A and B are shown apart, each in its own frame.
Chain A
Amino acid sequence: MAEQCLSSNFHPEDAPGYESILQCMRCGFCLAVCPTYALTNRERSSPRGRAALARAVAEGKLEFTPAVRDESFFCLDCKACSTACPSGVRVGTIMEFCRSQAQVFHPPSLPAGMLRDFILKRMLPSPALMETSMLPVRLYQRLGLQWAVRRLGINRFLPDTLAKMEGILPKLTPPLRMEIPEMIPALGKKRGRVGFFLGCAMSLVFPEVSRQTARILSRQGFDVITPKEVKCCGAPHLAEGDRDTARRLARINIDLFLSLGVDFIVTDCAGCGCALKEYEELLEGLDDNKRVVRFRAKIRDISEFLAEAGIRTEELRPVPLTVTYHEPCHLVHGQGLSVPPRQVIRAIPGVELREMKESNWCCGMAGSFALKELETSRRILERKLAHVRATGADALVTANPGCHLQLAWGVRELGMKQPVLHIVELLGRSLPTGPI
């Protein structure tokens, strides 16, 4: 348990460490990179301001007021400030702790709390329940209801949040988790054996993308093991302030993947990758540290993994396409991976990478932010898409399902020409077609 001030107004359980807050010396370097500060020009909505609020609570100078709660949720947790901070302060993480605190000091009303508990503690931990919950949406799409709603313009009369929900979901196909073989053997000269951490969103919303990931890994010479018992990585729980369930899921995933005897654990979801890499911190002082460290050492984002292993380029065919790359926050800021995705893109023959301005600026999705803070999210997205448009690229490449949904929605709304592709879809196009 992190050290606390005696006079602290935080609840002792899951409070942000006092030292981690004190580390901020208020130089303000973070102000230049914070999307919410850029929009509001309001200090308390900046990383420096949020750290100061947390410090005031930690020192007993401020109660955990509704405004502190609101700021902790208004933070995108894009972690751009962590990259910019020379002192090593991680305000996003401090805000995650504050979201836990919010559940103590400002618990949701009883029915809302029950719904929240059901989602976080029951549904998310159960892939099967998740899959079932998507059935109505699939039905809605399959029966042509979506077509009718959009065609007749009914969606314009929906409340804004519902309209965005309706608009942001792509056409759903059956989830990948149950369809993907438990083991896909390596093709060509075998280079190793990897576990594929198939994230919920990837399986449910982007099954075709993750199919490409498995295909690429196999064609690059790796046995791909995809365990069906995989659980949610815990990122939504951290984001919503339920660290308890996050820890429970982490333990299950650690046990599961360590039992597979794989060299690496690969994911194509930046959000999952980031959460998996933070298990060590999540379980600090609670669990057998050696096992957690061993697990942590195996985690790789797909482009990190490919760049490290070296891409076999013999069978790659040219993809004549100019692309621009949007860096998911959870990849560039959360995992410090900026170069490897570009290495993968550049390795594809025929592809020209045209950099956009502020490629590492958040797209405004940020988990549930895009649906809770519609207007703010839209303005952040517009800033992003203006830079995309300026490149004149044929396609917009990214590497995270959240960004993917948000960008694809924005592109559609603004009538832009660029399709949004996950980096593995782009690489997949370069591979010969075949059964795998």
Chain B
Amino acid sequence: MRLPTIYFCIIERFESLLEPEREPCGWRYAVLNKTVIDHLRQKVGAGNVYHEREDLLVYGYDATPEIAGFPDVAVFPENREGLQAALEVSRREGLAVTPRGAATGLSGGSTPFQGGMVLGLTRMNRIREIDEENLTLTAEAGVITVDLFNAAAAKGLFYPPDPGSQNVSTLGGNVAENAGGLRGLKYGVTRNYVMALSGFLYDGTEFHAGNKCVKDVAGYSLRDLLVGSEGTLGIITEVTVRLINPPQDKRTLLAYFRDIRTAGEAVSKIIAARIIPATLEIMDKTTINCVEDYAGIGLPRDMGALLLIEVDGHPAVVAEEAEGVRKILEEVRADVIRQAANAEEAAQLAAARRTALSAVARVSPTTILEDATVPRSRLAETFAEIERLKEKYGIRVATFGHAGDGNLHPTAVTDERNREEVARVHAFFSDLYEKVLSMGGTVSGEHGIGIAKKGYLLRQFGEGGIGVMRRIKHAFDPDGRLNPGKIFLDEGIPAGSKIPGETNG
């Protein structure tokens, strides 16, 4: 205990009397001139504008390794007027604008790669309405995903999308990245729940897309274009999502396997038997051990893989499906099959699975994770390919993911200081994506392209597909100021911005 605290306070008081007010450091207004900052402070609120180097430094990253930018200013409007004012300033000053939620993204989507303005949405975080007649919820973009879930649950309703970072991620970020989660297999991803969006285009023009109607075929679906647009088309400030009835019952099964390929086989068989669990997750040996190091919930350290399976719905269906899953697990000779004792244990297991990526980061300083997704019938094959390539490039890879979605997260554990090994890691992923695409897969199941996967997108879509995307981008943002440098490989650097990675000062 720090009783003598009193004395430290005396020191503090004493010091403040003796020391003159510190002069603002020279670099403070080095980039944007003071008038611009003052104007922003006046329009958005003094406490909502950051321009000191220490602040800018921490608004340069998200959860993607090796990638960080350095903005000129970070602005956190509390309302639409403030946001509009910030956009106006950015337009006048020719600043790039990078929208930012909680910056938990895994493809660099919210990093201000080319400097400019970081537009934080976390202070627009009100839940506007829960419409129990239309079963919708309307909230501002900065609402935390789990808060939205809880608000719906308080009314006896259910918002299924549950990305791993749901305790911190924002609704706006989820929509911009079209986030998935553990329940994607049965309930779909964020897109499947977005009914309406509103926000602002690059020039401050307000837009509304979608509505509360179940059916709507009026014009192009701007809503669907904006979901997953990674902040490159518009700034989303408000979202209306669809809510559903929560499942009446659920049951969680765990299966352990000595060989990960058997686990892959089990997944394919479960789907082929037309059983759609809410959750069907996989972890390999490395992941199991890392998660166990953190969570300490008694996972088997010596097993090659683990499947976490949750079936939910009407009690009769749950019983039938659980039985069906169990039969398949026995058929493929899973080494251990067990059922979670109670809801608490089930929740504990799901929570542990959510920590997988961060827990894997225990092993080494850098974790480079990918997001390969294949048709589910090709899962076992993909596992075999990961094993083969791992050997070929001599790197360590932990694999976990949403097996039921065919969405795997092979994660290379490396050290970014070891450039040679990192190069091998990138070669590994390059080969893996070649294979994934040849199987009819996609280079990103749920993390988005951002910066990290720009190179792979062309392989998947070819010049034709990319060309269309470019024209769409141009139609929304002709100046290329919204989140520049993302998705497309050779996006020009707007005037007035800095070279990526460069810091001022």
Chain A residues engaging chain B, CB cutoff 8 angstroms: 19, 22-29, 31-32, 41-44, 48-49, 52-53, 56, 61-62, 65-68, 71, 85-88, 108-109, 111-112, 115-116, 119, 123-124, 130, 159, 161, 165, 199-202, 204-205, 235-236, 239-240, 269, 271-272, 367-368, 370-372, 400-402
Contact = CB atoms under 8 A, between A and B. Distances in A.
Given A23-B361, A86-B361, A372-B9, A111 B2 contact: no
Q: Do most interface residues of chain A lie in helix, strand or loop, or is the interface mixed?
A: helix
B42 interface: no
7 contacts: A32-B144, A41-B122, A65-B54, A108-B15, A200-B4, A271-B2, A371-B8
Interface string B148-189: 000000000000000001011100000000000000000000
Contacts of B102: 28, 31
Given A28-B63, A71-B54, A371-B6, 17 more contacts: A23-B361, A25-B65, A26-B61, A42-B55, A44-B58, A49-B58, A62-B53, A67-B52, A67-B54, A86-B291, A86-B355, A86-B361, A115-B10, A115-B11, A239-B2, A400-B1, A401-B1
Given A22-B365, A66-B22, A111-B18, A402 B57 contact: no
Contacts of B290: 86
Contacts of A402: 1-2
A231 to B, nearest CB: 13
A239 B7 CA distance: 14
Contacts of A205: 3
Nearest to A205: B3
Contacts of B488: none
B69 to A, nearest CB: 13
Contact of A86 (B1, B54, B358): B358
Given A62-B54, A108-B15, A119 B7 contact: yes
Nearest to B60: A52
A353 to B, nearest CB: 18
Contacts of B15: 108-109, 112
Q: Which of A86, A202, A236 is packed against the most chain B CB atoms within 10 Å?
A: A86
Given A112-B15, A115-B10, A52 B3 contact: no
Given A28-B104, A109-B19, A88 B168 contact: no
A372 B12 CA distance: 8
Given A28-B165, A401-B1, A368 B358 contact: no
Contacts of B104: 27-28
A130 B7 CA distance: 11
A235 B1 CA distance: 7
Contact of B62 (A26, A29, A42): A26
Interface string B82-126: 000000000000000000001110000000000000000011000
Contact of B165 (A29, A165, A235, A272): A29
A96 B5 CA distance: 16
A32 B18 contact: no
B18 A109 contact: yes
B358 A199 contact: no
A119 B4 contact: yes
A167 B463 CA distance: 72
B505 to A, nearest CB: 8
A19 B365 contact: yes
A52 B68 CA distance: 11
B9 A165 contact: yes
A115 to B, nearest CB: 5
A372 B290 CA distance: 39
Interface in B346-389: 355-359, 361-362, 365-367
Q: Which of the listed residues B19, B104, B123 has the most CB atoms from chain A within 10 Å of its own CB?
A: B104
B50 interface: yes
Interface residues of B toward A: which range?
A: 35 or more
A116 B15 CA distance: 11
A124 B5 CA distance: 11
B461 interface: no
A41 B123 contact: yes
Contacts of B4: 119, 123-124, 130, 200, 236
Nearest to A113: B11
B17 to A, nearest CB: 9
Contact of B3 (A23, A67, A200): A200
B14 A368 contact: no
A206 to B, nearest CB: 9
B440 to A, nearest CB: 31
Contact of A368 (B8, B52, B367): B8
A75 B346 CA distance: 34
A295 B93 CA distance: 63
Nearest to B294: A86
A88 B18 contact: no
Given A53-B54, A86-B294, A27 B165 contact: yes
A87 B361 contact: yes
B13 interface: yes
Given A53-B57, A85-B358, A269 B1 contact: yes
A115 B7 contact: yes
B11 A116 contact: yes
Contact of A43 (B3, B12, B59, B503): B59
Contacts of B358: 25, 27, 29, 85-87
Q: What are the 7 closest A-B residue pairs judged by CB atoms, nearest first?
A: A367-B2, A86-B358, A368-B5, A201-B1, A86-B355, A87-B361, A201-B3
B456 interface: no
Contacts of B167: 29, 32
A109 B20 CA distance: 11
A344 to B, nearest CB: 20
Centre residue among B55, B144, B367 by max chain A CB count within 10 A:
B55
Interface in B170-228: none
Given A42-B55, A87-B358, A161-B13, A25 B6 contact: no
Contacts of A370: 5
B400 interface: no
A53 B503 CA distance: 14
A259 B55 CA distance: 50
B357 A27 contact: yes
Given A53-B58, A371-B9, A65 B123 contact: no
B76 interface: yes
Contacts of B122: 41
Nearest to B70: A61
Given A31-B102, A43-B55, A109-B18, A88 B362 contact: yes
Nearest to A161: B9
A269 B2 CA distance: 11
A87 B168 contact: no
Interface string B9-38: 111111100110010010000000000000
Nearest to B14: A112
A62 B68 CA distance: 15
A100 B102 CA distance: 31
Nearest to B357: A27
A31 B57 contact: no
Contacts of B294: 86, 88
A42 B65 CA distance: 21
A425 B25 CA distance: 52
A28 B100 CA distance: 13
Nearest to A18: B365
B9 to A, nearest CB: 4
Nearest to B365: A22
B76 to A, nearest CB: 7
Given A44-B58, A201-B3, A368 B123 contact: no
Contacts of A201: 1-3
B14 A115 contact: yes
A354 to B, nearest CB: 19
Contacts of B25: 65
A158 to B, nearest CB: 12
B379 to A, nearest CB: 25
A200 B22 CA distance: 36
A401 to B, nearest CB: 4
